[in-house]
Amino acid sequence: MPNLENLKKQAKLILRWHRERHYPVAAQIRSHLPRFLNMTDSEILAASFKLSDAQEMVARQQGFDRWQALKTGLSTTSPKVKSAPCKSLPHKSLPSKATIAGAEPQLFVTDIKRSCEFFGEKLGFSLVFSYGKPPYYAQVRRDAARLNLRCVERSIIESTVRDREELLSVSMTVASAEEIKLLFLEFQSAGVAFHQTLKKQPWGARNFVVKDPDGNLLLFAGPAN
């Protein structure tokens, strides 16, 4: 069960995010508190929002309708600790260095809805989340690959420069030569626009490059053999 003190800190953090007009928290508030359901992000961040509201939101995230119900639920389900003779516990060594568990490249796009549809319908990705009303930030995933989409008013890089210099926005890999061919054929059947079709490279890879609706170049690669 979650720790009550940690949940109190979580509520205070949500309250602080609201006061600082941290836009991603608006979507969370709207999804958990019904009275904010029909409000835009700007309206939510401008509305009155107290610690009790943040606590109610945390309670709903934990499956309770209000904060007091959460506190009662935690107190009745907390395990009772029995005293026992002191025994030596196996020593768990601390890591000597941090491990990076993943990477999430960020693509700049001019239309979040259009980009999500492209990645879903053409490239087989699924939507993880989207923020904003209308959305201005989203994440899509396929297998272990996650991409963040950030809405901007116009393209960051001149399209002619990007194409000429082949400036890649992201690289994604598969494990075998068979899979890279299957992936290429899948995208080809979906009518994807290719900047470069499947090609064997002198350094021992086989790859192709897809162009998204905003001109971002997406490299897909695998071993040649």
Q: 124-178: per-residue pLDDT in tens? A: 999 988 888 888 999 999 988 999 999 998 887 888 888 888 899 999 999 999 9
Burial class (CB in 10 A: 0-12, 13-18, 19+), 55: buried
For range 21-34, the mean pLDDT: 84
Whether the predicted pLDDT of 81 surpasses 70 = no
Whether the predicted pLDDT of 80 surpasses 60 = no
The predicted pLDDT at position 184 comes to 97
Alpha carbon 168 to its chain's center: 21
What's the mean pLDDT when you consider all of the chain? 86
Give me the domains of the chain, ranges plus CATH numbers: 4-76 (no CATH), 106-223 (3.10.180.10)
% of residues, the chain, pLDDT over 70: 90
* Cβ(165)–Cβ(189) below 8 Å: no
